[in-house]
Structure 1
Amino acid sequence: MDLDLGGRHVLVTGGSKGIGPACGAKARLQGRSADEILQSQQQRMPLRRIATPQEIAKAVVFLASDRASSISGAIVAMDGAVSAIVV
């Protein structure tokens, strides 16, 4: 998409938040609490925590601003560095 629209000065960038606090379905399937699932997932994350809604919003506002005018064709991971270890 970026290759198609870049010539028209349209930037195409996305954000990926990674896991979130909504672990209810997985917890029910495993017979565990949502808090247990979330804590287990956070322990495997390099930053040991998930991004807050405010942190994600700040990143999205930056990507939509003129300060990000040279960022295009990228997915910005806001996942506690999980994507850095999945290689």
Structure 2
Amino acid sequence: MSAAEVTIALSHPLAAGTETITEITLRRPKSKDLRGMVFGAGGLAWSDMEQLAARLAGLTVGQIGDLDIEDALRVQEAVGNFMPSFQGTSSP
């Protein structure tokens, strides 16, 4: 069983209005967090991963979309670690 939450230190902090986000904490997903998402043979679509990460972090999809790709991939990996049976995403 994985942890209840995981915190990811961002290599490239994200400007959010007058604040700077230097880390993202993802809570463990609940079944309702997956509503409307489709898991295919290639995994979870990139846009669905962004939506799920936003839900788990309490951020907007726009904020998740503004992450540097290095940080975005680390967030995607952390989300996938919560759901080992469904790891991976399709191409962005």
Pairwise TM-score range, normalised by the shorter structure = under 0.3
Structure with the larger strand share: 2
Structure with the larger helix share: 1
Give me the TM-score of the superposition, normalised by structure 2. 0.26
The structure with more radius of gyration: 1
Give me the TM-score of the superposition, normalised by structure 1. 0.27
